């Protein structure tokens, strides 16, 4: 009986656990396409931490924009990428789309970038520490750009004042903790530059959690409400609370009727630690 319960065979799906050549080869092709078509954009726009994209009427244009955004090593905003895609000819957009499906085999799923049609698309520029919390939300489509040192961290004064409060933050800065913080970040950058001489991807592992990364969050209204209510909660970290609050503000500006029922908490307001 014990032998029957433990058959000496491997599950059928084990044969499909090898790395996907489709995904790896397609990523190389799309990274080259992103370099080609996004080169005229100039430097990335890092002025906004959260930006709610304008609705897309053409699914092919949305998919192509998402594909190029995903493989943009420079870190341009989704708005910038869409501007570049709108300037492309129909044949060029079709070429990029074809690159994303040309190598797909019998057992290969569509890429995450192919999922389109969501009403709300937030382009988020956030520190890696907060991103690890926001990344837990799986009822939305997340399309993250490659890690880069180019985005840098948020300003040291902003971090200390937001994280510790005006008085304690100012005192910490006056005591030199801000300078110590910046010294540590510079040391990490120097170490990464040394590692990058041998492996560019390996240097990404030295990115401090204070450095920012860019990710696209596609979702429906119910998921947006859930994320905003949870992540603006008073018990959360100030970094992702600010991101979720900005998502709420973007939603309120664009769709005030949808923002009305959401119970968002302004992270700038004082918190009663004894309240439940």
> Could you tell me the pLDDT band of residue 5, with boundaries at 50, 70 and 90?
low
pLDDT at 8 over 80: no
pLDDT digit string, tens, across residues 63-118: 999 999 999 999 999 999 999 999 999 999 999 999 999 999 988 999 999 999 99
Burial annotation 156-175 (CB, 10 A radius, 16+ → b, else e)? beebbbbebeeeebeebbee
Closest CA to 76 of 32, 36, 46, 33: 46
User: Given the structure tokens 């968002």, which residue do they identify?
Assistant: 264
Structure tokens at 20: 């996907």
- Does position 192 have pLDDT exceeding 70, yes or no? yes
Higher pLDDT, 254 or 7: 254
Q: What pLDDT sits at residue 91? A: 98
What Cα–Cα distance (Å) separates residue 139 from each residue in 36, 134, 199, 238?
33, 11, 34, 23
Fold of 20-152+211-268: Alpha-Beta Plaits (3.30.70)
Residue pair 258/248 in contact by the 8 Å Cβ criterion:
no
Report the pLDDT averaged over residues 56-65: 96
Distance CA 110, CA 187 (A): 41
pLDDT confidence of residue 6? 67
> Can you give the residue ranges of every domain in the chain?
20-152+211-268, 154-207
* Mean per-residue pLDDT over the chain, rounded: 93
> Residue 141's beta-bridge partner residues?
218
Question: Which residue carries 């409060």 as its tokens?
Answer: 165
Question: Phi-psi category of 117—alpha, beta or left, where left has phi over 0 and alpha has psi -120 to 50?
Answer: left
Per-residue three-class SS string for 162-227: HHHCHHHHHHHHHCCHHHHHHHHHHHHHHHHHHHHCCCHHHHHHHCCCCEEEEEEEEECHHHHHHH
Q: Phi first, then psi: what are they for 21, rounded to 5°?
A: -65, -35
Mean per-residue pLDDT, 45-72 = 97
CB distance 221 to 119 below 8 Å: yes
**Residue 248 pLDDT exceeds 90:** yes
Query: In this predicted structure, what is the pLDDT of residue 18?
Result: 78
């Amino acid at each position: 009986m014990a032998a029957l319960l433990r058959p000496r065979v491997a599950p059928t799906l084990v044969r499909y656990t090898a790395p996907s050549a489709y995904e790896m080869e397609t990523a190389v092709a799309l990274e080259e396409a992103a370099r080609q078509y996004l080169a005229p954009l100039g430097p990335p726009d890092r002025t906004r931490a959260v930006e709610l994209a304008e609705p897309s009427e053409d699914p092919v244009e949305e998919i192509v924009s998402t594909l190029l955004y995903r493989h943009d090593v420079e870190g341009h905003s989704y708005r910038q990428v869409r501007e570049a895609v709108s300037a492309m000819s129909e044949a060029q957009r079709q070429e990029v789309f074809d690159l994303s499906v040309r190598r797909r085999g019998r057992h290969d799923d569509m890429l995450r970038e192919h999922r389109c049609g969501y009403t709300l698309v937030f382009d988020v520029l956030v520190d890696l520490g907060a991103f690890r919390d926001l990344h837990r939300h799986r009822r939305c489509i997340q399309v993250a750009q490659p890690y880069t040192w180019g985005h840098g961290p948020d300003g040291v004064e902003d971090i200390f004042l937001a994280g510790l409060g005006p008085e304690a933050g100012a005192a910490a800065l006056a005591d030199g903790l801000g300078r110590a913080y910046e010294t540590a970040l510079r040391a990490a950058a120097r170490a990464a530059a040394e590692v990058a001489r041998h492996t560019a991807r390996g240097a990404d592992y030295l990115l401090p959690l204070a450095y920012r990364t860019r990710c696209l969050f596609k979702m429906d209204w119910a998921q947006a409400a859930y994320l905003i209510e949870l992540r603006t909660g008073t018990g959360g970290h100030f970094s992702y609370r600010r991101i979720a609050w900005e998502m709420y503000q973007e939603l309120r500006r664009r769709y005030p009727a949808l923002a009305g029922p959401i119970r968002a908490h302004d992270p700038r307001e004082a918190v009663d630690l004894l309240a439940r």
